[in-house]
């Protein structure tokens, strides 16, 4: 018997390993929720969950069920978009066996918590209080990405998906008690103050006091991120094609991050001062030692976790205006540097490399900004207010006891 409120948490991926924005966020979300709530976690996964992943889920949930699907099953599901007018992002993650399971357990939850637009369809008709953490609007992401995309395929996907996603996201706001956004500009775009709320993306507080450096990277300009996602691929390709030639001799461009795509790996072959590291065990020591971190985003939108982490470390981050707009409250020349023109970006990087002390104030401002605005502690505080209010409304201020039983791992195919 448990007197704690119960939450049914839905995710489109495993939270472990915590690599990439949504995995990292869900990893921390589960740790936060497990302190005060009984979590029933449901996720869809392509990969076989590792022993470490299962141990993490066992430690942070009272019950979990994982549905394994093959690549073929995902793409077969996505083909429904040709006939049902739902976004690819929704159809890609929708399966009838997952729906049946959620239908069978949703009524036991005090709150149903969906992460990303991908899980919305499963709970459209659920009557319990529902929270959607939309994080960043995929519709606006795709809309802003169309012009800057290097990939012909992704240009077609952006054209196909944008309006469908924006319509479905607007519809979702009516389905959920509260929808949580990381990006204040996106919150304003949808203009539904009765149904939406801003919540800060978290950053690991330990980074604020991380001082170790890897001296091998002192003359490096670093891009840090998961390197099989399109907006990161577009960013490093643009930087190599347009900015590298403006950097002073002796600087090298280091691309650090898991799963570099073939296009990314080819950059090291085509440009002599480019290094593609792949996954690094100690990436923060590399970032801390670097001349600066760059985020030359041409596609994508919303809060970039790699930028928040770099700011927390007290590195100088040079970025385009696209990601800068999402970090409300921070300013060019105060917490980071913004440059959209390639020559201008090169000039800024050269200045940092030759007169680094002049940017010490920016480094300290960056750390203070993250400390005050984007920690997991702040995220947890804001989230607790949302959940407690939903639970109180759903139970008329009385939290009903829920029978919970630790179950064995369930992995369905």
pLDDT at position 2 is: 67
Nearest 5 degrees, angle CA 349-CA 351-CA 353? 70
Across the range 141-149, mean pLDDT stands at 81
173-201 b/e (C-beta count within 10 Å ≥ 16 → b): bebbbbbbbbbbebbebbeeeeebeebbb
282-300 b/e (C-beta count within 10 Å ≥ 16 → b): ebbbbbbbbbbbbbbbbbb
Across the range 202-213, mean pLDDT stands at 93
Least confident span in 17-26, 257-266, 280-289:
17-26
pLDDT bracket for residue 411 (50, 70, 90)? low
pLDDT at 124 over 60: yes
pLDDT in tens, 265-314: 999 999 999 999 988 888 999 999 999 999 999 987 667 889 999 999 99
pLDDT at 316 over 60: yes
* Distance from C-alpha of 231 to C-alpha of 141, rounded to nearest angstrom: 10
Least confident span in 198-207, 242-251, 295-304:
295-304
Least Cα distance to 78 among 160, 147, 16, 148 occurs for 160
* Distance from C-alpha of 204 to C-alpha of 383, rounded to nearest angstrom: 17
Least Cα distance to 183 among 201, 170, 167 occurs for 201
Most confident listed range (112-121, 225-234, 388-397): 112-121
At 74, phi and psi to the nearest 5?
Answer: -60, -50
Question: Do residues 178 and 184 touch, judged by C-beta distance below 8 A?
Answer: no
pLDDT at position 301 is: 66
* Distance from C-alpha of 91 to C-alpha of 72, rounded to nearest angstrom: 13
Report the chain's mean pLDDT, rounded to a whole number. Answer: 91
pLDDT at position 3 is: 83
Helix (H, G, I), strand (E, B) or coil at 90: helix
pTM (two decimals)? 0.85
pLDDT bracket for residue 22 (50, 70, 90)? confident
pLDDT in tens, 357-395: 889 999 999 999 999 999 999 999 999 999 999 998 775
pLDDT at position 402 is: 38
> Could you give all domains of the chain from N- to C-terminal order, each with its CATH number?
6-202+375-412 (3.40.50.2000), 205-373 (3.40.50.2000)
Percent of the chain surpassing pLDDT 90: 78
pLDDT at position 407 is: 41
pLDDT at 65 over 80: yes
pLDDT in tens, 176-196: 999 999 988 899 999 999 999
pLDDT at 34 over 50: yes
pLDDT at 401 over 60: no
Across the range 195-199, mean pLDDT stands at 94
230 vs 40, more confident: 40
Across the range 121-129, mean pLDDT stands at 94
pLDDT bracket for residue 399 (50, 70, 90)? very low
């Amino acid at each position: 018997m448990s007197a704690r409120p119960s939450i049914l948490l839905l995710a489109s991926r495993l939270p472990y390993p915590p690599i990439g924005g949504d995995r990292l966020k869900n990893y921390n979300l589960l740790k936060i929720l497990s302190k005060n709530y009984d979590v029933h976690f449901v996720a869809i996964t392509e990969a076989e969950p590792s022993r470490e992943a299962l141990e993490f889920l066992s430690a942070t949930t009272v019950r979990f069920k994982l549905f394994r699907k093959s690549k073929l099953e995902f793409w077969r599901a996505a083909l429904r978009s040709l006939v049902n007018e739902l976004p690819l992002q929704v159809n890609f993650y929708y399966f009838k066996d997952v729906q049946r399971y959620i239908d069978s357990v949703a009524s036991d939850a005090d709150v149903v918590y969906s992460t990303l637009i991908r899980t919305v369809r499963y709970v459209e008709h659920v009557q319990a209080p529902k929270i959607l953490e939309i994080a960043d609007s995929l519709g606006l992401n795709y809309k802003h990405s169309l012009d800057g995309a290097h990939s012909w395929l992704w240009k077609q996907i952006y054209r196909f998906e944008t309006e469908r996603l924006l319509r479905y996201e607007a519809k979702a706001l009516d389905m959920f008690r509260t929808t949580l956004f990381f990006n204040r500009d996106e919150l304003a775009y949808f203009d539904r103050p009765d149904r939406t709320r801003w919540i800060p993306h978290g950053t690991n507080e330990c980074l604020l006091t991380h001082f170790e450096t890897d001296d091998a990277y002192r003359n490096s300009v670093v891009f840090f991120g998961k390197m099989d996602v399109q907006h990161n691929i577009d960013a490093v390709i643009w930087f190599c094609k347009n900015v590298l030639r403006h950097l002073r001799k002796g600087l090298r461009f280091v691309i650090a991050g898991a799963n570099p795509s073939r296009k990314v790996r080819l950059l090291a072959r085509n440009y002599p001062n480019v290094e593609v590291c792949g996954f690094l065990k100690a990436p923060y020591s590399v970032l801390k030692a670097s001349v600066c971190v760059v985020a030359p985003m041409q596609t994508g939108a919303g809060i970039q976790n790699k930028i928040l982490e770099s700011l927390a470390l007290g590195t100088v981050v040079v970025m385009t205006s696209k990601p800068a707009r999402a970090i409300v409250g921070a300013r060019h020349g105060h917490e980071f540097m913004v440059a959209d023109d390639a020559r201008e970006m090169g000039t800024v990087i050269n200045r940092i490399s030759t007169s680094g002390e002049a940017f010490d104030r920016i480094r300290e401002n960056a750390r203070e900004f993250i400390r005050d605005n984007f920690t997991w502690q702040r995220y947890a505080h804001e989230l607790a207010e949302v959940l407690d209010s939903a639970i109180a409304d759903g139970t008329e201020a009385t939290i009903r006891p829920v029978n919970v039983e630790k179950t064995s791992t369930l992995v369905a195919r």
